[in-house]
Amino acid sequence: MPTQTLTLADEIQELTAPLVESGRYASAKEVIHAAMDALLRTEVGEEAYNKACIELAEEGEASGLAEGDIFERVRAKYGWKPFAE
pTM of the model: 0.49
Distances (CA, A) of 67 to 10, 11, 62, 85: 55, 52, 10, 23
Sign of CA dihedral 61, 66, 69, 73: negative
> What are 7-59's pLDDT values in tens digits?
778 888 898 999 999 999 999 989 999 998 888 888 888 888 888 888 887 88
